Chains A and B, each alone.
Chain A
Amino acid sequence: MTTNIAKPKPAIPDLPVAVLLAGLSIGFFAVVALVTGETAQLSGEGIAGLLQRMVALGLVALGQTFVILVGSIDLSVAALISAVAVLASHVMQGDPAMMLPAVLLCLGFCAVVGFVNGALVAYGGINPLIVTLGTGLIIQGVLAASFGVLQGAVAREFQVIAYGSVLGVPYSLLLLATLSLAAGFVLDRTLFGARIYAVGGNPDGARLAGIRTERVILSAHMVASLFAGAAGLYLAARLQSGTPWIGRDGIYDLESIAVTVIGGTILAGGKGGVAGTLAGVLLFATLDAGFNMLGIDAFLKQVLRGAIVIAAVAVHAVRTKGHVA
């Protein structure tokens, strides 16, 4: 199953981090399962269940990787996820015929949000933290105020995304794998990917090399929002109807940033990739599953997660320093 992670064939220095993290995560999971005697977790079904934990965060984090690589950041994803989930269930109202229009409407909405975020950051020159915090608050506020009229539920057929599977492999996992491969391919093999690295690595240099940096930043923000939309649709399918708080309760904004950074993408931009991010998501998923098996208290879980995020980034810092010296 780790093949998903290795396949996009990232830039050379990125690979070891991803492999290391993924190995550690799987090792931790296996050891905990054996120690607690929950060997069922190591069956095909158990693993599929583990990997399914990755889907929602994984989708958001893929998009977050694009904006962080370009030197920006997106804090509005949590609110956007909620908005998409609510919007999808409201438009569908359980009617399968409305599935396609709902999905298109949601993704269109995400594209608009991404465009606004990107335009404010790239052309307005406003700090991305502030821009996306602001748009996130606006979306969240509108959502909370109008939730009363936005009731609804997604169509039963739509829930196949979350619960259906083919040959034992859940569709949701296939969705994550496909989108990961696509994202990895775009970053590694396409002109757009090269531009993202160039702009994130050295905005002035990129501009002087003739790159229209504003467009690249704007596009990256649209990608991030669309991925958040995909996550929102997935969550709507899983929960049958959206509430205005699912994004916020999942802390998808901060966790997507955390896993991206754990995966070796640097906040300054220009270095990192999809493989690392997926490994970071896997780490979070195995920690969650492992802590559950161990029966660790929910609050202690938070503490341990926090400590692990810091430790992981500290390890990167030390590694990079050693590399430079």
Chain B
Amino acid sequence: MMAVPALSMTGISKVFPGVRALDGVDFECLSGEVHAICGENGAGKSTLMKILGGSYRPDAGTIQLAGQAVRFTHPRQAAEAGIAIIHQELSLLPHRTVAENIFMGREIARRGLLDKAGMRRKAAALLSRIGAAIDPQALVSSLSIALQQLVEIAKALLMDARILVMDEPTAALDERDSRALLGLVEGLRREGVSIIYISHRMPEVMAIADRITILKDGKKVWTRPCDAAPIDEIVRAMVGRDLKDFYPATPVSAPGEVLLAVEGGTNAGLRDLTFEVRAGEIIGVAGLEDSGKGALAQALVGDVPFTGGAVTLRGKRIALRTPRQATAAGIGYLPGDRKSEGLALRQSVRDNALLTLRSLMGLFTRPQQGALAHDVIDERLGAMDVRAADFGQEIGTLSGGNQQKAIIVRWLAQASDILVFVEPTRGIDIAAKAAIYETMRAFADSGRGIVVISSDMPELIGIADRVLVMHQGRVSGAVPRGANEEDIMHLALGLADAPRGEAGA
């Protein structure tokens, strides 16, 4: 059993200009083992995996596969050695078929001619092995994100990988699909595949990992069997603080007057939504991927507006036909996909923070005067603790947490009453998460309201004063603070109207 590990990396170091990304890291994975790597963003997880995958070359250290020393110079060599990496960002071709995607780069061909039938057959076999009911001839663009993730996994398994790296595989999945994925991982483990699992979702890691390795600032903190590593110890090792300080304390004062009220909100994806947000309240919205929780966010910010029903803000009826109207009315939007919907990556931190303010200013407003002045916005960014060497630098160079804070500043500058957060901490490391929760709480405590849509249940439970649960475009129930995951899951699956409580208040 304790023979030669399937993979062992010893003394791996990698220096980038200005950063020591990895410093003498040792890591090993046995066959049939799930070995989780935890660490904040920037701790070196991705760099370590990129070295394993052949994208980077280490400055020092050795990699051994089943006792054999290897050295990769191109991702192809790593793949041929049986290492498969499922990347955080999907790397599929939307306009091509599932089979063509699975075989991308390793098509079955004889003298340059493709064997299409053979690929279709093998793809079907592979898909059924992972229990995915997907037609190999279907176009990838016609599949849901969850199914696309399965295609991505099938692609990784094609090479008969002995070592499978999963980098945040559930980041884009909801609870139900995540569970299916974890079942799949379990199956692969039984087949003797070594699985390296990177995730920010602690419950998942605890459920699935045999061993856990913590990285911090490019160094290994420790490796322990899962049973010897309770969650709070993991968190402490990662960030040096306790879990109970992780979510902000509940406010003492009761929520104030009604800020935002939606009555009978209806559109193609939503049916008869009625709920309200009070001053000082953080409302969570939970649900499976297709529950309509995303559609709710889009409707609230006027992107895909309600076609029926009424929305009132501070008692006044407001029109939400376009994002501009929503912004002017005082509803701000913090999208889940920051890179494509939230940020102009090539522009400065300052420009990004000023985006909404500028877009609502008159055409002839003098730039850099009043609220648009550099020192005014810089002060706001500073107050939010956005960490950048210079607010004139491109925002794309900042970490996810700092980017999110800059977007928050954007809406604070606009003096919004309601902020709609979608997946506020997706891909953001633990320390920055805490800071963002803190900020959200402070925003609400200042007499304004937040609607937060998230697939991360512990997050919703930790931060929200009330959680609305959606199922098939309706609110299937609401649970108060302190509810547990099962209650929410029950409602999300549409199983019962059990803990109705203050539903649709």
Interface residues of A (CB under 8 A from B): 11-13, 189-195, 197-198, 201-202, 204-211, 266, 270-271, 323-324
Contacts and interface: CB of A to CB of B under 8 A. Distances in A.
19 contacts: A12-B137, A189-B113, A191-B107, A194-B114, A197-B93, A197-B96, A198-B104, A202-B92, A205-B90, A205-B93, A206-B104, A206-B105, A209-B91, A209-B104, A210-B76, A210-B79, A266-B95, A270-B95, A270-B96
A190 B95 contact: no
Interface in B99-131: 100, 103-107, 109, 112-114, 116
Interface class of chain B by DSSP: loop
Contacts of B499: none
Closest 9 CB pairs of A and B: A205-B91, A209-B105, A210-B76, A201-B93, A271-B95, A191-B109, A211-B105, A210-B105, A209-B104
B134 interface: no
B358 interface: no
A13 B112 contact: no
Contacts of A198: 93, 96, 104-105
A206 B103 CA distance: 11
Nearest to B142: A323
Interface residues of B, number: 31
B141 A208 contact: no
Interface of B: 53, 55, 74-76, 79, 85, 87, 90-97, 100, 103-107, 109, 112-114, 116, 137, 139, 141, 155
Contact of A324 (B76, B90, B141): B141
Contacts of B95: 13, 197, 201, 266, 270-271
A12 B116 CA distance: 14
B50 to A, nearest CB: 10
A201 B96 contact: yes
B501 to A, nearest CB: 35
Contact of B91 (A197, A204, A271): A204
B115 to A, nearest CB: 10
A85 B55 CA distance: 46
Contacts of B141: 323-324
Contacts of B55: 208
Given A197-B96, A210-B74, A190 B105 contact: no
Given A205-B93, A210-B75, 6 more contacts: A201-B94, A202-B91, A204-B91, A208-B53, A211-B104, A266-B95
Nearest to B137: A12
Contact of A205 (B53, B76, B104, B106): B104
A11 B87 contact: no
Interface core residue of A205, A266, A324 (most chain B CB under 10 Å): A205
Given A189-B114, A323-B141, A197 B109 contact: no
